[in-house]
């Protein structure tokens, strides 16, 4: 997430890992800097206890009646996509954060939406989502990144404040479908990838073409998981209220395949196609994932469990 900015933060916060001769930067595709090494490369936060992504175990999800509907402002406005960029490790679409806002859904206040970016594997059949659900990994994941309005659109300021609710990220799973041209918006979005094949390239031609809503068409915005976590790239700051929507966006296989066959990683030595740009799941460490839907499974939440235990004990007493 927020790749360029976060690289700078690593430089600020972890000066010891960057010697002038051999700057050791994080990556996805090399053993010396892939995500298993991040706790060493960027130990201040990547080694933390509230890290993202996570595997969501649906049987342990607890009910939270506060998780109401979102109020998504500007999601139907096609004049909000400022540019699309190859930001070294992902494709990022920069958004007009004065027009796009997220509130409701039990997040504390109004959040200005800065950008969205994607994580993927290698084509629609080799998964690449960051979050998983009961171990299932989806082909791709879309992250819409917003920062609390009190930071005036400054993500660095939110991270510097060490505010655990400084950022709100909406995560959408992408699933492949055999239907062709699904959807027109994904066709348009992915058609720009050939203009940003190399790291650092960007184009603003994408303006006035696509709305955010058209990219997440078909997803019920009232059904989601909620937990407290982190950025999924170094510095892995634990500053994110995560919302992961249950229903995936359905996108034609062809459009999904364009990502892993078109854009390159930043790599000084070779042109290497960007594939598998996701972080593996992190330990929950006691965190609880909540959701709207009543959980009626074999593993009830602990509060229910204690009630059942008390009932069992009382019935034993009567026996
Ligand atoms: C990451 O690199 C380590 C070695 O540092 C290697 O054992 C591991 O298989 C790699 N994992 C991925 C997902 O590339
Ligand atoms: C990560 O944190 C744990 C516990 O604080 C510590 O034992 C471990 O050495 C740390 N690892 C790194 C790579 O900093
Ligand atoms: C719901 O919100 C109320 C009021 O803010 C709070 O007291 C309560 O703990 C919340 N419930 C959950 C499950 O988070
Ligand atoms: C949604 O947010 C917009 C912009 O902040 C606001 O004008 C509108 O009143 C909100 N709608 C609801 C239903 O809260
Ligand atoms: C954003 O916040 C950072 C950290 O507080 C600060 O250094 C920087 O000047 C701010 N940027 C802008 C454009 O205000
Ligand atoms: C899909 O879109 C392309 C380009 O817009 C068009 O030529 C083609 O006819 C469409 N196919 C179907 C089945 O709609
Ligand atoms: C963008 O939205 C404006 C205003 O709703 C509309 O007139 C225009 O046709 C839209 N552009 C595209 C490419 O859909
Ligand atoms: C990449 O280039 C650097 C500098 O020329 C070199 O030290 C390094 O070994 C190269 N890495 C690979 C994987 O070829
Ligand atoms: Zn992300």
Pocket probe mutation, ligand 6, options 179, 181, 254, max atoms within 8 Å of Cβ: 181
Q: Does domain 17-292 have CATH number 3.10.200.10?
A: yes
Whether the CB of 181 sits within 6 Å of ligand 6:
yes
Whether the CB of 37 sits within 6 Å of ligand 3:
no
Nearest ligand to residue 104 Cα = 4
Question: What confidence score (pLDDT) does residue 280 get?
Answer: 98
Question: What confidence score (pLDDT) does residue 297 get?
Answer: 53
Whether the CB of 15 sits within 6 Å of ligand 1:
no
Max distance between CA atoms of the chain, in angstroms, equals 76
Which ligand 5 atom lies nearest to the CA of residue 152? Answer: 14
Spell out, as residue ranges, where the chain has pLDDT lower than 50: 1-22, 295, 300, 304-319
CA dist., res. 70 & res. 53, Å (int) = 22
Q: Phi first, then psi: give them for residue 18, nearest 5 degrees.
A: -120, 95
Question: What confidence score (pLDDT) does residue 25 get?
Answer: 87
Per-domain residue ranges of the chain:
17-292
CA dist., res. 99 & res. 106, Å (int) = 21
β-pairing verdict for 167-177 and 249-252? parallel
Whether the CB of 149 sits within 6 Å of ligand 4:
no
Whether the CB of 165 sits within 6 Å of ligand 3:
no
Q: Which helix (H) or strand (E) holds 215?
A: helix 212-215
Nearest ligand to residue 70 Cα = 4
Pocket probe mutation, ligand 8, options 269, 270, 272, max atoms within 8 Å of Cβ: 269
CA dist., res. 311 & res. 297, Å (int) = 18
CA of residue 209 to ligand 7 center, whole Å:
7
State the first-to-last Cα distance of the chain, in angstroms, to the nearest integer.
Answer: 58
CA dist., res. 94 & res. 85, Å (int) = 8
> Which residues contact residue 296 at a Cβ distance below 8 angstroms, ignoring those fewer than 6 apart?
none
Q: What residue owns the CA closest to ligand 6's atom 1?
A: 181
The angle subtended at Cα 173 by Cα 129 and Cα 272, nearest 5°, is: 40
What residues pack around ion ligand 9 (CB closer than 5 A)?
1, 143
The angle subtended at Cα 62 by Cα 282 and Cα 148, nearest 5°, is: 65
Whether the CB of 269 sits within 6 Å of ligand 8:
yes
* Predicted structure pTM score: 0.87
Q: What is the pLDDT of residues 145-179, one digit of tens each?
A: 999 999 999 999 999 999 999 999 999 999 999 99
Q: What is the pLDDT of residues 135-147, one digit of tens each?
A: 999 999 999 999 9
Closest Cα partner for 189 from 212, 171, 167?
Answer: 212
Question: What confidence score (pLDDT) does residue 296 get?
Answer: 55
Whether the CB of 64 sits within 6 Å of ligand 3:
yes
Whether the CB of 154 sits within 6 Å of ligand 5:
yes
CA 58 vs CA 102, 175, 301, 317: distances in Å: 26, 19, 11, 34
CA of residue 101 to ligand 7 center, whole Å:
20
Which ligand 3 atom lies nearest to the CA of residue 64? Answer: 13
């Amino acid at each position: 997430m927020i790749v360029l900015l976060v690289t700078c933060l690593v430089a600020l916060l972890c000066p010891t890992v960057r010697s002038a001769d051999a700057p050791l930067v994080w990556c996805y595709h090399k053993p010396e800097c892939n995500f298993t090494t991040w706790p060493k490369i960027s130990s201040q936060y990547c080694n933390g206890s509230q890290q993202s992504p996570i595997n969501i175990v649906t049987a342990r999800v607890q009910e939270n009646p506060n998780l109401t509907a979102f109020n998504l402002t500007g999601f139907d406005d096609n004049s909000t996509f400022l540019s699309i960029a190859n930001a070294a490790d992902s494709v990022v679409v920069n958004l007009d954060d004065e027009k796009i806002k997220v509130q409701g859904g039990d997040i504390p206040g109004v959040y200005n939406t800065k950008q969205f970016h994607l994580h993927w594997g290698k084509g629609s059949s080799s998964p690449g989502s960051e979050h998983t659900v009961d171990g299932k990994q989806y082909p791709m994941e879309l992250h819409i990144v917003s920062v609390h309005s009190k930071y005036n659109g400054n993500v660095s300021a939110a991270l510097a404040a060490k505010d655990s609710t400084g950022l709100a990220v909406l995560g959408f799973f992408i699933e492949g479908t055999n239907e062709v041209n699904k959807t027109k918006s994904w066709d348009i979005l992915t058609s720009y990838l050939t203009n940003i094949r190399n790291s650092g390239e960007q184009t603003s031609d994408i303006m006035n073409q696509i709305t955010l809503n058209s990219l997440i068409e078909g997803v019920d915005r009232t059904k989601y998981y909620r937990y407290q976590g982190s950025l999924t790239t170094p510095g892995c700051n634990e500053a994110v209220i995560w919302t992961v929507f249950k229903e995936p966006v359905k996108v034609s296989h062809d459009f999904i395949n364009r990502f892993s066959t078109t854009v390159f990683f930043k790599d000084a030595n070779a042109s290497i196609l960007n594939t598998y740009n996701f972080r593996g799941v992190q330990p929950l460490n006691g965190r609880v994932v909540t959701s709207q839907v009543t959980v009626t499974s074999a593993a009830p939440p602990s509060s229910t469990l204690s009630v059942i235990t008390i009932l069992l004990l009382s019935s034993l007493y009567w026996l």
